[in-house]
Chains A and B, each alone.
Chain A
Amino acid sequence: MKPPAFRYHSPRSLPEALDTLDAVGHDGKVLAGGQSLIPILNMRLAAPGHLVDINGLTELAYVRTDADGVRVGALARHADVEADADAHRAVSLLRQGLRLVAHPVIRNRGTTVGSLVHADPSGEMTAVLSLLGGSVELARLGGTRRVGAADFFTGPLESCVEPGEMAVSAYFPRLRGRTGTEFIEAARRHGDYAMCGVAAAVTLDDDLRIVSARAAYLSVSPVPLVLDLTETLAGATPDTAHWRAAGELAADRTEPDSDIHATAEYRRHLVRVLTARALRTAAVRGADPAVGGDGQGSDDQGSDDRECGARD
């Protein structure tokens, strides 16, 4: 398990990186945290001619929060985003999801933007971006474009980033209204890619009645799947809502595949169960008076996310 040979580039600035990416074109790949790319290289499942290491682009190592949301630079590590208190206050779903990404040591190196580009349908960040309706900013020599989550993921391990292009940041918009969120999953072991994961957001009105309930899913579809489940819950309060019905609806709308860790049928069952659990927790968080009118509910006072999921 040793990687094949490649030419290594370590640009010191974004323009230099874009120059290099342009020059190497199809034969080049961006090296960010390397936590997905290097295992692939070590197993010789890919052999790019050039790697453009962006770890020198410290200008992209940022997490910026404003009134509208959180912008995460391409060199922000999962751990940086997870630890960022402002980001957590604005978009709690980020930390709720990040805590389920691998183990802390992997998060110390892996980048959040990299995991979006990697587009693993089991990657937590793909669901977070999708549920929030966020976007990714792509740059190439002579131009940038912004791609919304719905268009960004094009297939399993495929995003719309083109040769010569680089993702410079991702944007996670803040949810409006009295909204609570939750991210839970069922994984074989703590820290593994999930058999099924659910990111949920529930918005309540001032009478604490549900006005919107949406969920995004991991590991049950080739690209992140976002379902609007409001129809089963609208008008109910967190105490009266029929969560199981929402779970049923979600299960009806998913077509998971089987693998060695979970059959399709079991995955669909997990969709049913985890949807109900995630929505309920999200709604309770939304109803928490401490949350006020425009937050997603922090899990600070609540139980550990990893424990309120289906994990052991």
Chain B
Amino acid sequence: MTITEAPPAARKKAAPEPPAPRAVGSPLPRKEDLRLVMGEGRFLDDLGRDAYEAAFIRSPHARARVLAIDIGPALGVEGLIAVYTYQDLPGRLAEPLPMLIPHPGLTHGRTGYPLAKEYVNHVGEAVVMVVARDRYAAEDACEKITVEYEPLPPVVGIENAFRADELVHPDVPGNVAGHVVQETGDARAAVAAAPYSLELHLDIERSACMPMEGRGVFARWDVADGSLRIYSSTQTSSGVRAAVAAKLELPLLKVECVTPDVGGGFGVKIVHPWPEEVLVPWVARLLDHEVKWTEDRREHFISSAHERGQLQTVRVGFDGRGRILGLDVDILHDNGAYTQYGLIVPLITSTQLLGPYKPGAYRVEFRSLYTNTVMVTPYRGAGRPQGVYAMERTMDSIADHLGLDRADVREANLIRPEEMPYDHGLLFQDGRPLVYDSGDFPASLDKIKKLVGWDEFAAYREQARAEGRRVGIGLAAYVEGTGVGPYEGGHVQIETSGKVYVATGLTSQGQGHETVFAQVVADELGVAVEDVTVTTGDTRRMGYAVGTFASRAAVMSGNAIALAARGVRDKALRIAGEALGVAPRKLEIVQGVVRSRDDPAVSIPLGTVAVLSNPLRYAFDEASKAATQFGGTPDHSRPPVAEGDEPGLEAREFFSPPRATYANGVHAVIVETDPETAEITVLRYCVVHDCGHLLNPMIVEGQVHGGVAQAVGGALYERMHYDESGQLLNASFMDFLMPYASETPVVEIDHLETASPMNPLGIKGAGEAGVIPGTAAFASAIEDAEGFPITKMPIQPCELFRLRQRFEAGEIPPLRRRAGAPNNVDEELCQP
């Protein structure tokens, strides 16, 4: 089914009012926990105990030509099974990996080969694949094989890429993979004509998803059946299946992809196919033996994907109340060595930058640049943290420039609820118009001010200063397009046992889909949550699916499953109605039993209805025996399965909204910076967010907590330290510093629930929100504590220390509010 848009008038109350009592909306403990806490989860590396294992020789150079590979010395290694190089790859495997998301602006998209062909373009690129009895032996062989390289000068860093003295790909001029300009109104003219204007130069560095479980693939070839079963720790089993089928030139129907329990994804596992995802199945077929590859931590650092690195230039024109009249943004985006995931990240940055604000005229231009580093693909937030950073740094600068309260300047620029739906006149990541469907942004801002004590903070800061302490407060708002299409499907089946089995194609990496979707189905069907079993990410159960990313799972699959459940419900009522002689509309389903609303004693269990739904009725079980009492006298003039009907109590539906639905929120953080050591401590972290109706508030809050922890990491601890030769200096958990509990604040949360008019459940995505405004909020708070502008994030103590030195030396101007500047509204136009 496709939802068409409700007319604007109906939009505001379009959310369906659900019947009580409901599983949806209650903080039910998760079904998946029962196995996970007992150590009975099944993650990728838990499978395939007898499989051969693969290891890879990966380039030690950021840019080089592969001259020769000598596998000879490895041949004596005990346990070695096979060694493969590019030369061994047949047919379509020898072609570059597919470009997932083409875009007209992506004029020079490039992808790598499964194994390096002639050139390597980043440290970690796979060059040789070794298969052995186990991983130990495979690594032994890797150590023995020698690869001769001719190192070439690498391109590292955005400035170097832009200067283009060296080219990553010789046939890509200027290292520019893609170049996109979007504009509404004449932004440059608006900036020039505005009473006030400012220019900001901002820098944000790389981090990475870094799930606790790395990637992994396990493949089994069935030689008799000519079919392939792939298990992958992926965010899209349907995508992996289609990619592998194409690469190995197998019919889609001979390939199955199953996603086992996945130890976190956060975006990196949506990329497909990874080189290993096509190579492992290929070798499994070649050797007719199970083969497995489990990524180790070092591999994950140097051969998966990173995100976030951008340089941004913002020119903004505004009036005396801080209202933006024109916004002109220029972004240089580091996409690493390849663009397998297209321009998605900078496209999102450039559109979601606008947040809850009306920018007046807006122009955004970005260039996506190649560097000899690991490729860049979405990491939770997917370009939004950078966009919010640009916008919120701008808001703070305007406030400071005018001597206005930072929250007031934001307030002055907010889109009002009565302006919904709000059309920005731009195209979003999915190529569809950027139209906000709903949200009450002023209410969100109001709530965060109350939650964090915004108005009282100035007094606290002063009091702290008197005690020799430095504290600061910051806030940042975001709008997040969630639940992007094109579609997701749901299949719901009631078995004769009365148990309900649900499938959806997208995958789970800890979001609790087994529970949340069961809650949805339980309500729709009137059954107990315990009686509903949900399967995700298994192409045997649902062949058509997109994947889990962009905070889309609950919106897309949740609604698809709800629609499928409604279909099953209708059918169950129809069949029950016939059996009971009651009109379907006079029936209800309560605790798995269909019964008359008028006389609950007139009833039939759903399991029995399932028996009746199938004319072939062997009395295998009790339900079938029970069903005989409803047999009636068959009408021999009609076919056993009526025209247009199908046997079985099941339904499959797809949900495909016309556009994304937009969640929003505001974060506020209070930090303390040590006046001597420049160490930064989080004192409080507050979140207000609105993701429409909450399916399971406990799970939504968990998503927020986790997102905030990643935000803290991204703002204060995590970064990818590449040296100028393209070596990643901190490719381990010792040196890539993810926050422990000791670094992670308690998150205080307040919710708003503005129902989405875009889908039957009235929900919006919640998966990424926690991370999005963090970097911006921290920059704001640290700036507030220190009294000088922060333009480069993340920030670590030695950098804050250095900034203080420069500030004291007069190389950095103070914030105007610290310099005691009066309200600036009547001053002349200023260009710092």
Contacts and interface: CB of A to CB of B under 8 A. Distances in A.
> Do A and B share a direct contact in the complex (Cβ within 8 angstroms)?
yes
B800 to A, nearest CB: 9
Interface stretch (A60-68, A187-195, A223-231): A187-195
Contacts of A5: 136, 140
Contacts of B802: 263, 265-266
Interface in B165-222: none
B797 interface: yes
Contacts of B678: 266
Contact of A190 (B297, B676, B740, B796): B740
Given A1-B297, A189-B717, A310 B679 contact: yes
Contact of B717 (A188, A274, A311): A188
A7 interface: no
A303 B730 CA distance: 34
Interface in B670-700: 674, 676-682
Contacts of A191: 740, 742
B679 A312 contact: yes
A44 B739 CA distance: 27
Contacts of A44: 139, 143
B729 interface: yes
Nearest to B139: A2
A312 B743 contact: yes
A260 B729 contact: yes
B740 A273 contact: no
Contacts of A190: 740, 742-743
A262 B797 contact: yes
Interface residues of B, number: 33
Contacts of B739: 189
Contacts of B530: none
Contact of B298 (A1, A193, A266, A269): A1
Contacts of B735: 260-261
B737 A1 contact: no
A278 interface: no
Contact of B676 (A4, A273, A311): A273
A265 B803 CA distance: 13
Interface in A264-290: 265-266, 269-270, 273-274
Interface in B394-434: none
Contacts of A23: none
B679 A311 contact: yes
Given A260-B721, A262-B797, A273 B677 contact: yes
B798 interface: yes
A189 B740 contact: yes
A312 B734 CA distance: 19
Given A2-B135, A266-B798, A312-B680, A188 B140 contact: no
B148 to A, nearest CB: 20
A193 B730 CA distance: 14
Contacts of A260: 721, 729-730, 735
A90 interface: no
A189 B682 CA distance: 13
Nearest to B735: A260
B742 A188 contact: no
B801 interface: yes
Interface string A65-83: 0000000000000000000
A48 B277 CA distance: 35
Q: Interface residue tally of chain A, by bracket? A: 20 to 34
Interface string A1-13: 1111100000000
A262 B682 CA distance: 20
Interface string A101-117: 00000000000000000
A189 B143 contact: no
A263 B680 CA distance: 17
A261 B798 contact: yes
A139 interface: no
A266 B803 CA distance: 11
B796 A188 contact: yes
Contacts of B135: 2
B801 A269 contact: yes
Contacts of A312: 679-682, 742-743
A186 interface: yes
Contacts of B808: none
A85 interface: no
A4 B140 contact: yes
B135 to A, nearest CB: 5
Contacts of A43: 298, 732
Contacts of A270: 677
Given A261-B796, A266-B802, A186 B743 contact: no
B263 to A, nearest CB: 16
B50 interface: no
A191 B732 CA distance: 16
Contacts of B797: 186, 188, 195, 262, 266
Which of B136, B139, B677: most chain A Cβ within 10 A?
B677
A189 B737 contact: yes
A3 B802 CA distance: 41
Nearest to B730: A260
Interface in B739-782: 739-740, 742-743
B337 to A, nearest CB: 22
A192 B743 contact: no
Given A189-B740, A266-B798, A266-B802, A2 B679 contact: no
A86 B674 CA distance: 36
A189 B296 CA distance: 23
Contacts of B677: 186, 269-270, 273-274, 310
Contacts of A3: 136
A69 to B, nearest CB: 32
Interface in A161-207: 186, 188-193, 195
B743 A189 contact: yes
Contact of B737 (A192, A273, A310): A192
Nearest to A276: B676
A227 to B, nearest CB: 19
Contacts of A195: 797-798
A274 B721 CA distance: 27
B742 A4 contact: no
A5 B802 CA distance: 46
Contacts of B801: 265-266, 269
A172 to B, nearest CB: 27
Contacts of B297: 1
A285 B150 CA distance: 61
Interface string B280-300: 000000000000000011100
A106 to B, nearest CB: 12
Contact of B674 (A188, A261, A263, A310): A310
A115 to B, nearest CB: 15
Contacts of B742: 189-191, 312
A3 B674 CA distance: 42
Contacts of A261: 735, 796, 798
Contacts of B734: 192-193
A40 B749 CA distance: 43
A5 B144 CA distance: 13
Nearest to A42: B296
Interface string B722-738: 00000001101011010
B730 A4 contact: no
A269 B682 CA distance: 23
Contacts of B676: 273, 310
A4 B298 contact: no
B799 to A, nearest CB: 9
Nearest to A262: B798
Contacts of B796: 188, 261
A216 B676 CA distance: 20
Given A186-B797, A260-B729, 7 more contacts: A5-B136, A188-B796, A263-B802, A266-B797, A273-B677, A312-B682, A312-B742
12 contacts: A3-B136, A5-B140, A192-B737, A260-B721, A260-B729, A265-B802, A269-B801, A270-B677, A310-B676, A312-B680, A312-B742, A312-B743
Counting from the closest, the 4 A-B pairs by CB-CB distance are: A190-B742, A266-B798, A312-B681, A1-B296
